[in-house]
């Protein structure tokens, strides 16, 4: 649906997009995720045509967009500041985009009602826009974009102004809406959880480049660099040594854990760093007395305990290295929180390791 071919963009001397390549499939929920200033809004704006590029190409539906102005592109954008006209009714706001549409008044009114129904605001047409809640305004902005039947809906941090609860609610609503209308959604967000929850695929961006483009599970389980691993959730990094390679597998010795044989997909291309293995805290388990496991175990001593209600975080010293272990209540029902100073077996699985080097 959308293809970037080695896109570069400068703001004066500042190199904002540094060779972006990749594509977004028709009908997918795609997110551009990265820290502030990494260029995600700029990239989104190049799709919309609000921003020109200095070299490379942006294609939509296999057509080069270089000479296609924003208003002729099959895209529509929902902004962070919803840009609702407060002096108009909800219906007038949604119908605003149809002001030059040649259809009859009755047909337009029907389209407005349909768009409002789509976003869960059926019957709200006559209400004053200024009297809406944040979540409702967000829906009006969505309805206003959807009424124009774009092939691609571009969303620039659309939920960032909402409080946590409303944001989580709207995340689910947006996923449902996207499945219902079946068009391509491209979301800009700096919120990792939001991207993981909502997206079919995510492009993680740093400093004007895509660091990794993959589905949420791959980004989480098989990040291709320490930087991506660190940005998406939490990871223990443990110094390691590469012992040898045999038949596509790499043997490593990780401090405190011992040796493990890793498959190629656990060993992304080298970045020239000192070798480290990464292990997500949720993949580690502490063994309670009498508990058995088929996983590997090592002895440790609990250094620190932080209780989070449904989760408990433990820092565990494993001879030479500290790891964080996260246990959920679900997996340890009825078991007590372990005390600082307790000796425990830590269970881990070589398949959960990723090698960075």
Residues that bind ligand ATP (CB under 6 A): 11, 14, 16, 34, 36-42, 190
Q: Which is nearer to ligand ATP, 16 or 98 (CB)?
A: 16
Q: Give the nearest distance from C-beta 41 to ligand ATP in angstroms.
A: 3
Q: Give the nearest distance from C-beta 287 to ligand ATP in angstroms.
A: 42
One-letter-per-residue 3-state SS of the chain: CEEEEEEEEEECCEEEEEEEEEEECCCCEEEEECCCCCCHHHHHHHHHCCCCCCEEEEEECCEECCCCCHHHCCEEEECCCCCCCCCCEHHHHHHHHHCCCCCCHHHHHHHHHHHHHHCCCCCCCCCEHHHCCHHHHHHHHHHHHHCCCCCEEEEECCCCCCCHHHHHHHHHHHHHHHHHHCCEEEEEECCHHHHHHHCCEEEEEECCEEEEEECHHHHHHCCCCHHHHHHCCCCEEEEEEEEEEECCEEEEEECCCEEEEECHHHCCCCCCCCCEEEECHHHCEEECCCCCCCCEEEEEEEEEEEECCCEEEEEEECCCCEEEEEEEHHHCCCCCCCCCCCEEEEEECHHHCEEEC
Counted residue by residue, the chain has a size of: 357
Q: Give the nearest distance from C-beta 12 to ligand ATP in angstroms.
A: 6
Q: Give the nearest distance from C-beta 151 to ligand ATP in angstroms.
A: 23
How many angstroms separate the CA atoms of 144 and 115, rounded? 8
Q: Which is nearer to ligand ATP, 138 or 283 (CB)?
A: 138
Q: Give the nearest distance from C-beta 251 to ligand ATP in angstroms.
A: 39
Q: Give the nearest distance from C-beta 166 to ligand ATP in angstroms.
A: 20
Q: Which is nearer to ligand ATP, 42 or 178 (CB)?
A: 42
Q: Give the nearest distance from C-beta 53 to ligand ATP in angstroms.
A: 13
Q: Which is nearer to ligand ATP, 41 or 93 (CB)?
A: 41
Q: Which is nearer to ligand ATP, 132 or 187 (CB)?
A: 187
Q: Give the nearest distance from C-beta 42 to ligand ATP in angstroms.
A: 3
Q: Which is nearer to ligand ATP, 10 or 237 (CB)?
A: 10
Q: Which is nearer to ligand ATP, 205 or 327 (CB)?
A: 205
Q: Which is nearer to ligand ATP, 231 or 356 (CB)?
A: 231
Distances (CA, A) of 299 to 27, 173, 225, 312: 49, 46, 28, 19
């Amino acid at each position: 649906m959308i293809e970037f071919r080695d896109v570069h963009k400068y703001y004066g001397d500042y190199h904002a997009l540094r060779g972006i390549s990749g594509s977004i499939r028709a009908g997918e929920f795609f997110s551009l995720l990265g820290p502030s200033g990494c260029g995600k809004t700029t990239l989104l704006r190049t799709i919309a045509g609000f921003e020109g590029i200095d070299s490379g190409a942006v294609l939509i539906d296999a057509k080069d967009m270089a000479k296609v102005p924003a208003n002729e592109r099959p895209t529509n954008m929902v902004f962070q500041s919803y840009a609702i006209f407060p002096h108009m009714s909800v219906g007038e706001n949604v119908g605003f985009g149809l002001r030059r549409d040649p259809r009859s008044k009755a047909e337009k009114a029907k389209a407005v009602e349909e768009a409002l129904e789509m976003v869960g605001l059926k019957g709200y047409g006559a209400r004053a826009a200024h009297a809406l809640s944040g979540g409702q305004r967000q829906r009006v902005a969505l309805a206003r974009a959807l009424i124009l039947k774009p092939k691609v809906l571009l969303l620039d941090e659309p939920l960032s102004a909402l409080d946590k609860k409303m944001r989580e609610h709207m995340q689910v609503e947006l996923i449902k809406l996207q499945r219902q209308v079946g068009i391509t959604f491209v979301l800009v967000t700096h919120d990792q959880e939001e991207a993981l929850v909502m997206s079919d695929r995510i492009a993680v961006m740093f400093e004007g480049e895509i660091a990794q483009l993959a589905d949420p599970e791959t980004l989480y389980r098989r990040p291709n660099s320490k930087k991506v691993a660190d940005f998406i959730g939490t990871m223990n990094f443990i110094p390691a040594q590469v012992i040898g390679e045999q038949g596509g597998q790499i043997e490593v010795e990780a401090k405190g854990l011992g040796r493990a044989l890793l498959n190629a997909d656990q060993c992304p291309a080298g970045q020239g760093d000192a070798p480290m293995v990464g292990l997500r805290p949720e993949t580690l388990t502490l063994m309670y007395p009498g508990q058995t496991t088929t996983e590997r175990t090592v002895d440790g001593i609990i250094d620190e305990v932080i209780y989070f209600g449904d989760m408990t975080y433990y820092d565990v010293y494993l001879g030479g290295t500290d790891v964080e272990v996260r246990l959920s209540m679900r997996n340890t029902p009825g078991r007590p929180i372990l005390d600082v100073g307790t000796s425990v077996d830590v269970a881990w699985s070589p398949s959960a390791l990723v090698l960075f080097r």
